[in-house]
């Protein structure tokens, strides 16, 4: 949570130079990726939907179809999905 109350998405990573000294914890670095995540979602929407109608594109249809086929193949051989 940001100090102004809004939710933010944060990427957390260990500091490359962080070393454990005695009982002191390792330091972690956080980077706000809220805008980056929203931008990626927008790009995905544009790539998978028609810009005029907003309907799913052929690429999205083919992706979902392959997922269904993979699930049915797994169920046919008794594998959990």
- Which pLDDT does position 20 carry in this prediction? 58
In this prediction, residue 70 carries a pLDDT of: 94
Unique residue bearing structure tokens 């699930």: 71
Rounded-to-integer distance, Cα 22 and Cα 25, Å: 9
E-assigned strand segments in the chain: 10-14, 28-32
**Distance separating alpha carbons of residues 18 and 44, to the nearest angstrom:** 36
Q: What is the structure's pLDDT at 27?
A: 64
Residue 24 has phi, psi (to 5 degrees) of: -70, 135
Low-confidence ranges of the chain (pLDDT < 50): none
């Amino acid at each position: 949570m940001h100090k102004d109350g809004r939710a933010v998405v944060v990427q957390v990573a260990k500091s490359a130079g962080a070393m454990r000294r005695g009982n002191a914890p390792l330091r972690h670095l956080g980077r706000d990726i809220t805008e980056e995540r929203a931008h990626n979602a927008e790009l995905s929407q544009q790539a998978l939907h028609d810009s005029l109608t907003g309907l799913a594109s052929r690429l999205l249809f083919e992706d979902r179809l392959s997922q269904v086929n993979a699930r049915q193949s797994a169920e046919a051989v008794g594998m959990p999905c």
